[in-house]
């Protein structure tokens, strides 16, 4: 599959200090989709293919991922991650938007929702973390360790990379796993090391409570792949909102069951839009 083909428009905007690459498809309510690690905007391709008929799907690359260029001294504090989303929406002239977020993109999106809840029309949360008591998984601990992290990135060949992605999501299409490997450029590897080394679980202390307080009134749902080996399944309920469990999916539910994920997102956006216009 050509994972870029679904996007009809691709361009760069200046979002603060980041040259942000943005892929778009469709027209309708603006839906911003934030990817995780080790992905780019293309992780959403098959879901966007289902949504673009009735939604303006906006899928940026996060700072330092894919084709988005971030300065070497980019500040990975949660406030600045949320600030990137704010700057992106400002650059796109979007006062408000619906958000769908996953993994690292969940940290960006939840930080933004904590800081700017009035700009979030609805929130769909895929497998991510935002809590100080969550233990980082094996690879995160490796990446956080100087020397070992660099070595791990140096030996991340295609078979190992693809095996780990499909361990995380057992029914992930092989063509996407191979595509993700091709996208995992040297710049992204450096970004992953920097991000994880900045993200001691303690940075979430206090932010988790602020997030719940800021987002409890928002239309919010969680789509959770229960076979995720990186995050405990019990995390899903901690965000609040309605939880949809994908019992046969792992960490990348949007790749394993894109039609079902898109259906839930579309219904959630429609309910939130109807509520806002009432």
Exposure class string for 47-66: b at 16+ Cβ within 10 A, else e: bbbbbbeebbbbbbbbbbbb
H-run or E-run covering 46: helix 45-51
68-114 confidence digits (pLDDT tens): 999 999 999 999 999 999 999 999 999 999 999 999 999 999 999 99
Residue 106 resides in a domain: yes
pLDDT of 186 reads: 76
For residue 139, the domain's CATH number is 3.40.50.1820
Residue 219 resides in a domain: yes
Residue 4 resides in a domain: no
The Cα–Cα gap between 25 and 54 comes to 10
pLDDT of 236 reads: 98
- Cα dihedral 197/63/215/269 (nearest 10): -140
5-18 confidence digits (pLDDT tens): 999 999 999 999 99
Residue 150 resides in a domain: yes
Residue 3 resides in a domain: no
Residue 194 resides in a domain: yes
Positive or negative torsion for Cα 58, 227, 127, 181:
negative
β-bridge pairing 56-60 and 18-25: antiparallel
Residue 2 resides in a domain: no
Name the pLDDT band for 1 (thresholds 50, 70, 90). confident
106-139 confidence digits (pLDDT tens): 999 999 999 999 999 999 999 999 999 989 999 9
Q: How many helices (H) and strands (E) in the chain?
A: 11, 8
pTM for the predicted model, two decimal places: 0.97
- Residue 189: pLDDT over 90: yes
The Cα–Cα gap between 113 and 202 comes to 19
201-227 confidence digits (pLDDT tens): 999 999 999 999 999 999 999 999 999
Name the pLDDT band for 274 (thresholds 50, 70, 90). confident
Range of the domain at 166: 9-277
The percentage of the chain sitting over the pLDDT mark of 70, rounded to a whole number, equals: 99
Provide the residue count of the chain. Answer: 278
- Residue 105 buriedness (CB in 10 A; 0-12 / 13-18 / 19+): buried
- Residue 43: pLDDT over 60: yes
Residue 59 resides in a domain: yes
Of 105, 59, 115, 106, nearest to 83 by C-alpha is 115
Q: Which residues pair with 24 in a beta bridge?
A: 9, 58
- Residue 278: pLDDT over 70: no
Distance (Å) of CA 144 to CA 11, 81, 96, 136, 233? 32, 18, 35, 10, 23
The Cα–Cα gap between 178 and 25 comes to 23
Number of domains in the chain: 1
**How many CB atoms lie under 10 A from the CB of residue 223?**
25
**3-state SS class at 25:** strand
Mean pLDDT estimate for the chain:
96
The percentage of the chain sitting over the pLDDT mark of 90, rounded to a whole number, equals: 95
């Amino acid at each position: 599959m050509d994972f870029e083909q679904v996007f009809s428009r691709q361009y760069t905007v200046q979002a603060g200090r980041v040259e942000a690459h943005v892929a778009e498809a469709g027209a309708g309510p603006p839906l911003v989709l934030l990817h995780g690690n080790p992905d780019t905007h293309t992780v959403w391709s098959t879901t966007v293919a289902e949504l673009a008929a009735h939604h303006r799907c906006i899928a940026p690359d996060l700072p330092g991922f894919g084709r988005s260029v971030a300065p070497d001294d980019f500040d990975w504090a949660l406030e600045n991650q949320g600030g990137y989303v704010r700057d992106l929406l400002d650059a796109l002239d979007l006062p408000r938007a619906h958000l769908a977020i996953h993994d690292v993109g969940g940290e960006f999106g939840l930080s933004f929702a904590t800081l700017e809840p009035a700009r979030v029309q609805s929130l769909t949360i895929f497998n991510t973390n935002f809590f100080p008591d969550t233990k980082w998984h094996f690879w995160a601990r490796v990446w956080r360790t100087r020397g070992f992290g660099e070595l791990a990135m140096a030996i991340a060949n295609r078979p190992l990379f693809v095996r780990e992605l499909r361990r995380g999501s057992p029914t992930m299409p092989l063509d996407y796993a191979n595509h993700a490997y091709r996208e995992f450029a040297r710049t992204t590897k450096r970004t992953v090391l920097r991000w994880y080394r900045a993200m001691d679980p303690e940075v979430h202390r206090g932010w988790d409570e602020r997030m719940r307080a800021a987002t409890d009134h928002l239309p919010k749902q969680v789509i959770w792949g229960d076979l995720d080996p990186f995050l405990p399944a019990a995390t899903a309920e901690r965000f609040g909102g309605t939880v949809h469990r994908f019992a046969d999916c792992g960490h990348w539910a949007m790749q394993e069951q894109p039609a079902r994920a898109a259906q839930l997102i579309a219904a959630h956006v429609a309910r939130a839009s109807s509520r806002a216009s009432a």
